[in-house]
Amino acid sequence: MAKLKDRGMVLKRDDSFAARLDVAKPVEAPRPAEKPAPKPPAKKSAEASAPTPKPAEKPKELAQRTVVSAPITASEPKSAPDSSTTQEPRKTTEDMKATVEADRGPNVKLRVTFRCPTDLAERATACAEKARCPVSAVFRKAMGELRPQLIERIEAGIEYTEVPSERMTDASHPFDTSMMISQAAYDRLAKEIDPEAMTGIEAPMSRWARAQFLPHFDAWLSSKGH
């Protein structure tokens, strides 16, 4: 077996030989530059999270928007007029009558009694038979339609010359009724008809009422076909 040569000791570095070794080494590819690690996202502040306020609108634009957005409604009723300028309600006929009656004072009953002629009594009897009611009901019905007119004339005032003085000779059916007149009208009648308080006013007023009733009763029976 061949004898190995003893290794010699390198006492000095050979720079030219080392340079050749460095050239023979493969060139390493350059490494890409490392990117810096991303920083953690910073917390949004309260001011950043708050919505950005819109620019202030002009007064004109604001008024136009208010008019357009207002809903269309029916015309509202006008406000009630001031109580100081409110006119008083107009009085009705009933209110005027109540005022007149209050001025006249309390009412007084005026009783009248008289008799009807035979021909009117017979016609009233025929009317009652047809209506199936008492004869007195026929008289009261006719008198009820005339009573307001008689009261109105008495309240206006009648003179003594309007009261008949003669008495009836043909009188068969008696009839009596009453009328409510004011105290003022009653006092005026007493002064006009019985100024010395001798006979009272019921007998004269009964003759006056009879003179007003008989023509009315005749026309009323004729309208009923009697």
Q: What is the pLDDT of residues 145-183, one digit of tens each?
A: 999 999 999 999 999 999 998 877 777 889 999 999 999
Mean pLDDT for the chain?
Answer: 75
For residues 174 and 118, is the Cβ–Cβ distance under 8 A?
no
Q: In whole angstroms, what is the distance from residue 165 CA to residue 193 CA? A: 12
Residue 139 has pLDDT above 70, yes or no: yes
CA of 145: how far to CAs of 104, 213, 216, in Å? 23, 10, 9
Alpha helix segments (H runs only) across 14-164: 15-24, 46-49, 59-69, 93-104, 118-131, 135-156
Structure tokens at 148: 């307001």
Q: In whole angstroms, what is the distance from residue 176 CA to residue 112 CA? A: 6
Residue 35 has pLDDT above 90, yes or no: no
For residues 141 and 217, is the Cβ–Cβ distance under 8 A?
no
For residues 132 and 200, is the Cβ–Cβ distance under 8 A?
no
Average pLDDT over residues 65-72: 48
Predicted TM-score of the model (pTM): 0.54
Rounded to the nearest 10 degrees, how much is the dihedral formed by the CA atoms of 188, 149, 163, 206?
A: -90
